[in-house]
Amino acid sequence: MSFIPGQPVTAVVQRIEIQKLRQGGNLILGFSIGGGIDQDPGQNPFSEDKSDKGIYVTRISPGGPAEVAGLRMGDKIMQVNGWDMTMVTHDQARKKLTREKEDVVRLLITRKSLEEVVSQSKGRNPRP
Amino acid sequence: MDNESMYSSYSYKSSHSRSSRKHRRDRHYSKSRDGASRGDKSVIIQAPGEPLLDAESTMADERDDNWAETTTVVTGTSVDSVSNEDLTRLSKDLDDSLPVDCRRYISPVFGAILGLFSVITPLAFLALPQLLWRDTLDPCGTPCEGLYISLAFKILILFISTWALFLRPPRAMLPRFFVFRCLLSVLVFLFVASYWLFYGVRVLEPRETDYRGIVGYAASLVDALLFIQYLALVLLEVRHLQPAFCLKVVRTTDGISRFYNLGHLSIQRAAVCVLDQYYKDFPVYNPALLNLPKSILNKKLSSFKVYNLEEENSTNNSTGQSRAMIAATSRRRDNVHNEFYYEEAEVERRIRKRRARLVVAVEEAFTHIKRHQTEESLASSPKHPREVMDPREAAQAIFAPMARAMQKYLRATRQQCYHSMESIINHLQFCIMHSMTPKAFLERYLSPGPTLQYLDNSRGGQWTLVSEEPVTASLRQGQVFCLKRLDFALVVTVMPLPFLRVGEEFVDPKSHKFVMKLQSETSV
């Protein structure tokens, strides 16, 4: 998941669709995010590359919509509803996720296990 | 003051103040008296200055018991032999014969005589051979003249430094003699006496002809005197400059306390230092401020009075009744302190209101007056002849509108006894003369100033030093002594300053680096 500045970022992503849950007057998704270009990347426990300033999922509330939809702790969010999440500040990311008008968010997330699965499957079934 | 305690108090016996054996005697006496019970020793310090509120003058009584610096200090122990009391009586007669003011100047006069004598001595050493046996003296050319010049300059330096150091009017009259000063006087006296002795035996009698030797002898005397003066400088002036103790001074009536750093001093000298600072630092003692307002006081007193009567009258089997009384009074007391709180808030509010009125009145009064520039008079003279006043008249003119507000404020803060109308007008005149603002004028009245501000120097500042140890003992940790006045006292506690261990840590200027530490986690 490291990137070379100036080069396009490639990653294996999974599409996750979360239905927002209305709870007490707010629409919640049921997870917490950390990271952003204005934050300290060295403190991120989930990133491999400690200079990665992307948005990561730091906590999932059990039984919430995010867990139900398949989001896991440590996932890096690449896109939210088409908005890029790799080069945003923490507050911008929060805003994109908590729009009142939308009750569904479609995330593109990536995690290390995805890469492994793909490379394994590639190795097992090499394309001719 | 307490006359009885003077007679029965313990003090030290020494034959004459110039005895150099005093120290040994001190130790001897303290050992011998350890078995007997020690009372408080009361001795008197008189500092120049004025007591502000001396209601009655008991100075006449105290003068009889006052022991000056150089008079005999005598023991009065009622337990031991009778002869000591006789000596006490003897010294009282001695004291009575000397008028008071002389005592202040005895010690400087003695010192001056001794100093003059010791400075004239080398000149006498030089002059006597010339006068008595001039013909038989060996001629002594250039070396002698060199010695003459150095002698002259050294004597001049001696004169100047003696004048600068020792010929100052004494600031305080201390109860016991000043140990170091007496030591040094004795040293000088012995020294000069021994030089004279040697001179008399070896030079005057055989009519010594070696004049150069005599001049050298006189020069050595002057050198030694200069060194003694150096010793005096160190002992009297320099040694106590390095702070070693912190003295906490608390006034008994209102609890105002201050802390002062002092060096190694004797108790009486420390008392003088403390009193110097007292006149400057402590706000003036106002007996009117100590009492709670009458409404509270009556209620409080009544509840306590009942309690106390029960205590005094009860012998053994009224404990049950007194317990009930205690419960009742405590319940009443709980209500009383509530009232006290509100009453205090009310008093404070009143003071603030009056103060606001006073400030406004004074500001307005000051706008009526303006400094008259002489150039203006030429421009506006014929049409509007303004009345030109001197400061006194100006002060009287603007005093009238603010007088009432001032009086009410002073009464509210219980300061009216310190400021008469005359003194207020004088102060107003002073402020107008120096173009001060109303705020500067009011500074004197809005906060109680240091005691020195209210002193008029007609009588001496009389204090009594009460201490369990002899007042010439040097300060030690944990000592406590009191400085008593007629209506209040200052309790002084001695604490040593801590020994400081100062370490070192080098900080590289390039090592100051910073990182961002923001790590927020938002739940969505």
| pLDDT digits 0-9 by tens, B479-502 | 999 999 888 899 999 999 999 999
- Checking if the pLDDT of B376 tops 70, the result is no
CA distances from B248 to B142, B262, B286 (A): 62, 11, 21
Question: Please, which pLDDT band fits residue B360 given cuts at 50, 70 and 90?
Answer: very high
Q: B68 and B173 in contact (C-beta within 8 Å)?
A: yes
- Checking if the pLDDT of B97 tops 70, the result is no
Given A29, A38, A40, which is nearest B515 (Cβ)?
A40
Q: Poorest-confidence range of A98-102, B132-136, B178-182?
A: B132-136
Q: What value, to the nearest 5°, has the Cα angle with vertex A24 and ends A19 and A27?
A: 30
Quote the CA–CA distance of B75 and B32 in Å, as a whole number. 13
- Provide the pLDDT for residue B420: 87
- Checking if the pLDDT of B25 tops 50, the result is no
Q: How do residues B392-416 score in pLDDT, each as one tens digit?
A: 888 888 898 889 999 999 988 888 8
Neighbours of B390 (CB within 10 A): 10
Task: Provide mean pLDDT across the span B90-96.
Answer: 50
B-chain residue closest to A66, CA distance: B524
Which of the pair, B160 or B34, is modelled with greater confidence?
A: B160
Nearest-CA distance B511 → chain A (Å): 20
Binding-site residues on chain A for chain B (CB distance < 8 A): 28-29, 31-34, 38-40, 42-43, 58-59, 61, 90, 94, 97-98
Q: Which residues of B touch A45 (CB under 8 A)?
A: none
Q: Is A34 within 8 Å of B524 when comparing Cβ atoms? A: no
Task: Provide mean pLDDT across the span B107-133.
Answer: 85
- Provide the pLDDT for residue A118: 86
The H or E element spanning position B33 is none
Q: Which residues of B touch A98 (CB under 8 A)?
A: 524
Q: Poorest-confidence range of A3-7, A10-14, B200-204, B221-225?
A: A3-7
Question: Please, which pLDDT band fits residue B388 given cuts at 50, 70 and 90?
Answer: confident
Q: Is B520 within 8 Å of A59 when comparing Cβ atoms? A: no
- Provide the pLDDT for residue B357: 94
Given B519, B522, B523, which is nearest A40 (Cβ)?
B519
Among all chains, which residue has been given the structure tokens 């940790």?
A: B477
Burial of B174 (0-12, 13-18, 19+ CB in 10 A): buried
Q: Is A94 within 8 Å of B524 when comparing Cβ atoms? A: yes
Q: What value, to the nearest 5°, has the Cα angle with vertex B358 and ends B354 and B361?
A: 140
- Checking if the pLDDT of B505 tops 90, the result is yes
Q: How do residues B447-473 score in pLDDT, each as one tens digit?
A: 888 877 777 665 557 889 999 988 888
Q: Say if B524 is an interface residue toward chain A (CB within 8 Å).
A: yes
Task: Provide mean pLDDT across the span A40-53.
Answer: 86
Q: B302 and B333 in contact (C-beta within 8 Å)?
A: no
Q: Considering only CA atoms, which of B487, B482, B492 is closest in space to residue B52? A: B487
Give the CA radius of gyration of chain A. Answer: 15
Q: Say if B518 is an interface residue toward chain A (CB within 8 Å).
A: yes
The percent of residues above 70 in pLDDT, for chain B, comes to: 68
Q: Residue B27 corresponds to which tokens in the numbers above?
A: 């130790």
Q: B68 and B92 in contact (C-beta within 8 Å)?
A: no
- Checking if the pLDDT of B112 tops 70, the result is yes
Q: Is B522 within 8 Å of A33 when comparing Cβ atoms? A: yes
Which of the pair, B69 or B387, is modelled with greater confidence?
A: B387
- Provide the pLDDT for residue A10: 84
The percent of residues above 90 in pLDDT, for chain B, comes to: 25
- Provide the pLDDT for residue B194: 94
- Checking if the pLDDT of B204 tops 60, the result is yes
Task: Provide mean pLDDT across the span B294-298.
Answer: 58
- Provide the pLDDT for residue B299: 57
Q: Which residues of B touch A50 (CB under 8 A)?
A: none
Task: Provide mean pLDDT across the span A84-113.
Answer: 91
**DSSP 8-state secondary structure symbol assigned to residue B203:** I
Q: Residue B152 corresponds to which tokens in the numbers above?
A: 């002259």
- Checking if the pLDDT of B446 tops 50, the result is yes
* Residue type, position B78, single letter: S
- Checking if the pLDDT of B290 tops 90, the result is no
- Provide the pLDDT for residue A68: 92
Q: Poorest-confidence range of B110-114, B131-135, B381-385?
A: B381-385
Question: Please, which pLDDT band fits residue A66 given cuts at 50, 70 and 90?
Answer: very high
- Checking if the pLDDT of B286 tops 70, the result is yes
Q: Model's pTM, two decimal places?
A: 0.59
Q: How do residues B41-50 score in pLDDT, each as one tens digit?
A: 555 555 444 4
- Checking if the pLDDT of A21 tops 50, the result is yes
Among all chains, which residue has been given the structure tokens 């699965």?
A: A117
Average pLDDT, chain B: 75
Q: Which residues of B touch A34 (CB under 8 A)?
A: 519-522
**DSSP 8-state secondary structure symbol assigned to residue A43:** G
How many CB pairs below 8 A link A and B? 39
A-chain residue closest to B516, CA distance: A40
- Provide the pLDDT for residue B291: 66
- Checking if the pLDDT of B62 tops 70, the result is no
- Checking if the pLDDT of B126 tops 60, the result is yes
Q: Which residues of A touch B518 (CB under 8 A)?
A: 38-40
Given B517, B522, B523, which is nearest A90 (Cβ)?
B522
A-chain residue closest to B521, CA distance: A34
Q: Poorest-confidence range of B14-28, B189-203, B329-343?
A: B14-28
Task: Provide mean pLDDT across the span A93-97.
Answer: 91
- Provide the pLDDT for residue B377: 52
Given its phi and psi angles, is residue A63 left (phi above 0), alpha (psi -120 to 50 degrees) or beta?
left
Quote the CA–CA distance of B186 and B207 in Å, as a whole number. 30
Which of the pair, B227 or B204, is modelled with greater confidence?
A: B227
Preferred mutation among A16, A23, A40 to probe B, highest tally of B CBs within 10 A: A40
- Provide the pLDDT for residue B115: 84
- Provide the pLDDT for residue B38: 42
Question: Please, which pLDDT band fits residue B60 given cuts at 50, 70 and 90?
Answer: very low
Q: Is A29 within 8 Å of B515 when comparing Cβ atoms? A: no
Given its phi and psi angles, is residue A6 left (phi above 0), alpha (psi -120 to 50 degrees) or beta?
left
User: Which backbone phi and psi does B249 adopt, to 5 degrees?
Assistant: -115, 120
Question: Please, which pLDDT band fits residue B312 given cuts at 50, 70 and 90?
Answer: very low
Quote the CA–CA distance of B275 and B489 in Å, as a whole number. 12
For B320-342, letters b (16+ CB in 10 Å) and e give: eeeeebeeebeebbeebeeebee
Task: Provide mean pLDDT across the span B495-522.
Answer: 86
